[in-house]
Amino acid sequence: MVSIGGTALPGVKTTVESANNAAVNVGAPAQVGLVGQGDLTTGTATAGEVYEIRTPSQARSEFGTGTLLAEAAVDALTEGAYPVYCAPAGETSVSAEDIGTSATGTLANAPVTEDVEDMSVTVDSSSKTPVVTYKDPTTQTPGTDEFLYNPVTGAYALSTAPSTSATVDYVHYDYQVAVDAIINEEGERIDFLGSVNENDNVVSMIHDAALQQIQFYNFMIAVAGFAPYIADTSTITAEYDSSRIQQLYPTRNADGESIIGSYLGLRGRIGIDNSPIFKRLKTQNDLIQTLSKGSQTDLVNEQIVPVADEARGSRIVEDLTCVADDNAGESSMRQALHRLIVDYVTEIVNEASERFIGELHTQSARNALRSIIVSELQQLRNTNAITAFTVTVEKVDAMTASVDCGIDTIDPLRNILATITAGQIENPDQQVSSAAA
């Protein structure tokens, strides 16, 4: 149960409770926002600013051709989102960071550049070649002259430990600048806030932002990858228990580019008119990892959305939020679509109620408030989003009224059980004559 607002000042206090209902199909597109790494040297964008991207050429001009943020924005547009609100992360250059004399370790800052041209490594006065990996570098075998590093976590590995010294020059990214900017400028507008980077701190930032916006009735779902690479899905453990975040895996394609933009583009296109379950990403068909059915089940068991790698387009297997099985308070928001519908109805009730704050507390005022809410919910019922609803507006005391709203809704179709029987058929629906056969 979540309470928004209070009674210390005039206004609306809303309590959102979980019940056994869900919903689909209210006919409103979703607005999406992206934070990510651009190139603030070749691109024209500035950290801490939000850009309303409407064309692929604009995305590449602002954030630099080939950068994570630019290509994610292009993917989002191609999949159907329009426009896409983007904020680039800040960039900081680090010079000669001393990484000691161990063959493995972690850079002091992460996430770091994924462009090896922005990194320089010197070990015992000799240069090493930076090589990107999305796996754990400590489980890999670097070449003699290689500096193997994971740009998401900052972990690295050398073939042998330095004898005397080792230093690294690199660029790392400040995502908080981007998150703050997009929340401050577009927090009232966006329904999904995605990060192109799977770094734990970055994911926590966008989730925290989504939670903090609840108090302002600005509802959104944070979307990010669970990890850049999972070697064994049977060993993973859920990191969140919240309906305000959705984690996917894998979220990199074979070229190392993020697919979060593609997914948000799909969500922007279908809005709350449909579920993404079993829908394909037309911009992605070659992911960094192909999941077995068993691995997909492992992910679902930990409330992570599997993405199936298929030639016809990567397929979204589920629509889970990160709500744990024992979280009764959010049990009806275990799917992102359900979360969106609850938010939508909450906004309807809040906006209708706010109109009456300051009015004389009369029966006619309460009746008028109820009529407005009923009218809005009737529109949802006309679209088959809900099959029934109840609205009660009652006097609590001289200056307080209560609104109780209940809805009975329809779940998206998740499974079909098909049985094929071969043999003699009685009263066939279709029959081919022997001559035609």
> What is the distance, to the nearest Å, from the Cα of residue 394 to the centroid of all Cα atoms in its chain?
38
Pairing outcome for strands 155-158 and 146-149: antiparallel
Q: Cα(260)–Cα(93) distance, rounded to whole angstroms?
A: 26
pLDDT of residue 80: 96
Sign, Cα dihedral of 208, 71, 254, 143: negative
DSSP 8-state code for residue 242:
B
Q: Cα(320)–Cα(384) distance, rounded to whole angstroms?
A: 22
Q: What is the pLDDT of residues 337-386, one digit of tens each?
A: 889 888 888 899 999 999 999 999 999 999 999 999 999 988 877 876 67
Successive 10-residue mean pLDDT values, the chain, 437 residues = 60 60 46 98 97 98 98 98 98 98 98 98 98 98 97 98 98 99 98 98 99 96 98 97 98 98 97 90 98 98 98 97 95 89 88 95 96 91 77 96 84 81 74 53
Q: Cα(224)–Cα(203) distance, rounded to whole angstroms?
A: 6
Longest C-alpha distance within the chain, in Å?
88
What is the 3-class SS of 94-115, one letter each residue?
Answer: EEEEECCCCCEEECCCCCECCC
pLDDT of residue 23: 36
pLDDT of residue 3: 65
- Burial pattern 192-210, b for ≥16 Cβ within 10 A else e, equals bbbbbbbbeebbbbbbbbb
pLDDT of residue 437: 47
Structure-block tokens of residue 168 = 């690294």
pLDDT of residue 7: 62
Cβ burial, residue 96 (10 Å; 0-12/13-18/19+): exposed
pLDDT of residue 432: 56
pLDDT of residue 233: 98
- Burial pattern 123-147, b for ≥16 Cβ within 10 A else e, equals beeeebebbbbbbbbeeeebeeebb
pLDDT of residue 28: 42
